[in-house]
Amino acid sequence: MEVEVKFKADRSVEEKIKEIAKFVCEKVEEDLYFNSPARDFWESDEALRIRRDGEGVKITYKGPKIDKETKTRDEIEIEVDDYDKAVELLNRLGFRTVRRVVKRRKIYSIEDVTICFDDVEGLGTFVEIEVKSDDLESAKRKVFEVAKLLGFDPSSSIRESYLELLEESE
């Protein structure tokens, strides 16, 4: 499970991140989101996307959010070797493209916590803090501790995905 919190940020937060975390990499992530022919993912709070990021291509299914404080979801992710064929496969199965989300992401880490400093086209800059764990409460403590170190009030975390924020901004 991916336990995650997100905050709107300005560029100065990146300096704080550099003080407490180790730089891992920088990349551009292009996410193409789909809706299901069987049920409306907007209504069920699910997501299906294909991501390409210069390192590979992944198809990711995200289940509904499971708590009220974070963006925690069950997640299934598989690697594929051909972006265009993955898109074609989903289209032939009746999935329809919803939206493309593009971001420049700088990834940092502190032990098992990942911090992403994201510049999202059409939205601005954000910080995502995440832990992959089956222990929800322990992982939530970790992500909120890091959020506080970076000067964020945990109660101001954003539960909407970038896709949802882009849809709301129109």
| Residues designated as active site | 33
List, in order, residues 6 or more apart from 138 with CB less than 8 Å away: none
Question: What are the distances in angstroms from CA 125 to CA 7, 115, 157?
Answer: 9, 13, 14
Angstrom distance (rounded) from CA 104 to CA 88: 25
Instruction: Quote the DSSP letter at residue 161.
Output: -
